[in-house]
Amino acid sequence: MKQRILLIVAMLLLATPAFAAVTVDVTQGSGADFNKVTVAYTATGGDKVRAFALEFTIEANSPQTNWAGIHDFNRGESNKPGGGYGIFPGQFKLQIDPVNPNWYAQYYYPIAPPNDVDACNTGIGTRKVICELGTLYKDANEPGAVGKLFVLDVNFNGQTTPQGLTVATNSVRGGVVLENGTSLAPTINAPPKLIPQVQPVNIAGDVNLLGLTGRQVPYDANLKVEIYSGTTLIETLTATMTYGGTQGIVHYSTTSTVAPGTYDIKFKAKHWLKRRVAGVTLVAGDNTVNSLNSLINGDVDNNNQIASNDYSLMRANWLQNGSDLPGDLNEDGQVASSDYTQLRANWLLNGD
């Protein structure tokens, strides 16, 4: 009797179908593909998956990050080995003639139309898309147990901070549906946020160094670039000056780590007073910032004012010859009367 009961239990276990399990993997690309989100699936055990209904929502923000496009999906019947989920229920009735189907009809893609049930104010160009994919096959050429569903494109719309992402099944459309008509809750692996690729803030332009007559570029070719938010110094950069094509005009370029925004920028070269350019809007990518209002010459000790200590340093080097001498304001290789004339003209001035 005991052996008979064990045999019956064993037969029941053998006859019980394996439970199906489905995993949906959502991954954001990297590098040049940072704006692409790939959606793939894995199905194991039990009945095969007949259809997917998934929704993808980006957190509300301004300016709004949105879904810009969808591609890399199958179209039409899965009537060949490796065929995929190419039937789009939400769009089928609007785009496809069931008698003479044209699977490449314009706008026939997996996204539910915005006038469809539960899809109001969704779709390409918005922050939410509802994607429906089904399968239709013959001769047992059903889609594989592992595959890619589609790729979504993201428009970050200038956002530089991570954008929240929610991925879920859409229960109104059945979620994930098996061949036997039942629905199941898949395991969804998705990043909690989409990460924009932030371009560096490149700053370049021309600066006018008053009184530079002896050389095209100062002996000390370092230009200090200070970036302020209000009165707070955010970042200090050093750029190398090159000849700007006109005597006294030098060119510079540098790269900042500040976020795009509006700042004040101050420029300081050796023995010139600081000059501020106010209200500069910096964007990701290339920015041109010129300071053609002359930087004033005569700050020999580089304390951003022209006063007695500058005169003392000039006097100590009076009529000396050489390169990069303290007091050689015009940078002609000698501390002489032309330098003193500049110092006297700018006496007691302060930089910005």
Q: Which helix (H) or strand (E) holds 93?
A: helix 89-95
Cα 261 from chain centroid (whole Å):
15
Q: Of 109, 68, 55, give the one whose Cα is nearest residue 196.
A: 68
Q: What is the mean pLDDT of each run of 10 residues along the chain (352 residues)?
A: 29 42 95 92 88 96 93 83 81 86 89 86 94 84 88 92 95 91 94 88 93 90 94 94 91 90 94 94 90 88 93 93 91 92 93 90
Residue 11 is predicted with a pLDDT of 28
Question: Looking at this protein, which amino acid is placed at residue 271?
Answer: H
Q: Residues near 17 by Cβ (< 8 Å), separated by ≥ 6? A: 46, 47
Residue 1 is predicted with a pLDDT of 35
Residue 81 is predicted with a pLDDT of 60
DSSP annotation of 81? T
Residue 62 is predicted with a pLDDT of 86
Task: Could you please state the CATH topology (level 3) that the domain comprising 17-194 is classified under.
Answer: Immunoglobulin-like (2.60.40)
Sign of CA dihedral 316, 343, 271, 232: positive
Residue 257 is predicted with a pLDDT of 86
Contact 250, 207 (CB under 8 A): yes
The dotted CATH code for 201-345 is: 2.60.40.4130
Residue 115, helix vs strand vs coil: coil
Domain boundaries, the chain: 17-194, 201-345
Q: Of 318, 306, 275, give the one whose Cα is nearest residue 293.
A: 275
Residue 292 is predicted with a pLDDT of 76
Asked whether this chain's domains 17-194 and 201-345 adopt the same fold, the reply is yes
pLDDT digits (tens, 9 = 90+) for 282-338: 988 899 999 877 899 999 999 999 999 999 999 999 999 998 899 999 999 999 999
Q: Of 6, 40, 19, 297, give the one whose Cα is nearest residue 148.
A: 40
DSSP annotation of 298? E
